[in-house]
Structure 1
Amino acid sequence: MEKHKKANTGVGWLMVVLELVLIGFVVFSIVNKILAGLFLIPVIIFILPGFLVLNPNESSVLTFFGAYKGTIKANGLFWVNPFMSKKKISLRARNLDSDPIKVNDALGNPIMIGVVLVWRVKDTFKARFEVDNFIEFVFVQTDAAIRKLATSYPYDNFDDEEAEICLRSDIEEVNEMLEKELTERLDMAGIEVIEARISHLAYASEIAGAMLQRQQATAIVAARRRIVEGAVGMVELALDELGQKEIVNLDDERKAAMVSNLMVVLCSDKSASPVVNTGSLY
């Protein structure tokens, strides 16, 4: 369990002054050939390794012969027991822009997917002692999380059903699931996930052309369905208006012909060429 070590920058500067005084006394002793001053050289050498400088958003994990003694997270100049081991760990936010990897989605289609991860060290004890190398741990677990996410959902939903989540259209939900998965995986290393988002998503090159044609066909079918629905409504409205206003009386045969002509005109993807009927509609 992480514990913060209370550190005072004043102690660091006090030891600097003491070190300078000792060095000055040794120099004075050498110049004046006073042998007693030479015995202070081991003290000067002993004090030097205890100095520690921490910049903003830096920390130092302290251990004493294998025993964890705390973490200094304040910035400034410090002095600690020279026998303590000091390991600096940055607390700054870091970016991981993963290269797109090939993986099969839930339907078995090969896709290329990559993510951008923003993370930082939150618990220095876990980052230092729970895993061997926390930076490498982030890379490996991010790769594993990407593969799990990609295999859990299809790339696209071709059945036109809004209930099923897919990677391409439900990007916000997918990003939330990715962030949750990474948070659970990286918690044991004391890593805080600030943001995780999919940065690259595409079909693999070997099926990209075929899947593009499938997407185009699905879009055309959906568009045609809307056109037909609208055309039926317009034909129904036209017949109702003609009947209510008694503009013209049509028998069933002429109604069928009118419906057929209107449907052809409204559903056609080309402009209609009108033909003037000079005969009687009665």
Structure 2
Amino acid sequence: MREVKEFPAWRVSGFLGLLLLLLTLFWLLWAGAGLFREGELFYLGHLALALLASLLLSAGLFTVQPNEAVALVFLGRYVGSVREEGFHLANPLAQRKRVSLRVHNFTSDKLKVNDAQGNPIEIAAVVVWRVVDTAKALFQVENYQSFVAIQSEAAIRALASRYPYDAEGKSLRGNPEEIAEELKAEAQERLKVAGVEVLEARLTHLAYAPEVAQAMLRRQQALAVVAARRLIVEAAVGMVREALEGLEEAGLSLDEERKAAMVNNLMVALVAETQAQPVVNVGTLYT
């Protein structure tokens, strides 16, 4: 397939074309009056030429609004685009196709896909885009707006399948900024053939699928409990170590049995979920 790229079309100011149109109208009136007055074929020829010229000039006049482009097609061949806003005169026999250069938003539906770990998730995103090459948008793809929608959803699905929903490393939930940049690059790679620039891409919805949501929530809660317990145990070990070192620095030496008992009591007091109840040892009563 031959690639078509945008280039400027031939055009002049529309006000110049309007002036020429007025001259042809005067020409038309002169020829018509002469034909009516004298009835000679000379005036009939001028009348036909003036009418043809006025029709061509009026057909060649058009306007371009801000953030809009007009692509011209003459006899099945692309002959350029006009991007400059204002009043223009171009090839009157060329077909004109208008393309909006404004910024568009595409918001995907909630897509159900499997993440990198095989868990079913729901994901949706918004893609901000605009046309930067009118020739590619019109002639490289069938319908560039539909193409943007389909390829954006394909990019979202491909990205979701490469990363887990939530994990210690890079994940969809844990690295939103990096995921957004990668989604933008993925969508841009797919849409460049249509002359479209992706300005921004960002996830708008991310959740486990309903059938596994409760199980995954319990799993996340269990992981959070394990992480919290690990932190508590590490802190308790450090406090016990500092307590033993403090006793040695104070000159209070304990034998191994008493150290073990002290470590056991401190660990129970620090790690237990409920508040520890101290037991006071007052010695042994002999009778």
TM range (shorter): 0.7 to 0.9
Structure 1 position 218 matched with structure 2 position 223: yes
Measured on the aligned residues, the alpha-carbon RMSD in Å equals 2.4
Deviations 1:72-123 (A, max 9, x none): 1111100112210111111111111112111111111110111111111111
Deviations 1:188-230 (A, max 9, x none): 1111111111111111111111111111110110111011001
Please tell me whether the aligned partners of residues 71 and 97 of structure 2 are also in contact (alpha carbons under 8 angstroms). yes
How many residues are aligned here?
A: 272
Written as runs of structure 1 = structure 2, the 5 A alignment for 1:77-88 is 77-88=87-98
Question: Which consecutive unaligned segments of at least 5 residues does structure 2 have?
Answer: none
Structure 1 position 234 matched with structure 2 position 244: no
Q: Distance in 1 between matches of 2:245 and 2:229?
A: 24
The match for 2:158 among 148, 162, 182 is 148
Deviations 1:124-155 (A, max 9, x none): 11111111111110001011111111111111
Q: Distance in 1 between matches of 2:12 and 2:55?
A: 22
- Alpha-carbon distance, 1:29 to partner: 8.3
3-state secondary structure, aligned to 2:6: coil
Q: Distance in 1 between matches of 2:200 and 2:282?
A: 71
Q: Distance in 2 between matches of 1:228 and 1:214?
A: 21
The match for 1:265 among 261, 269, 275 is 269
3-state secondary structure, aligned to 1:182: helix
Please tell me whether the aligned partners of residues 13 and 77 of structure 1 are also in contact (alpha carbons under 8 angstroms). yes
Please tell me whether the aligned partners of residues 114 and 199 of structure 1 are also in contact (alpha carbons under 8 angstroms). yes
The match for 2:59 among 39, 49, 52 is 49
The match for 2:6 among 2, 6, 23 is 2
Q: Distance in 2 between matches of 1:43 and 1:93?
A: 39
Q: Distance in 1 between matches of 2:247 and 2:140?
A: 81
Please tell me whether the aligned partners of residues 106 and 126 of structure 2 are also in contact (alpha carbons under 8 angstroms). yes
Matched letter for residue 147 of structure 1? R
Partner of 1:14: 16
Q: Distance in 2 between matches of 1:55 and 1:101?
A: 37
TM-score normalised by structure 1 residue count:
0.87
- Alpha-carbon distance, 1:277 to partner: 3.9
Question: Which consecutive unaligned segments of at least 5 residues does structure 1 have?
Answer: none
Partner of 2:139: 129
Matched letter for residue 240 of structure 2? V
3-state secondary structure, aligned to 1:140: helix
Q: Tell which deviates more after alignment, 232-241 or 32-41.
A: 32-41
Q: Distance in 2 between matches of 1:79 and 1:6?
A: 9
Q: Tell which deviates more after alignment, 99-108 or 227-236.
A: 99-108
3-state secondary structure, aligned to 1:237: helix
Q: Distance in 1 between matches of 2:257 and 2:159?
A: 59
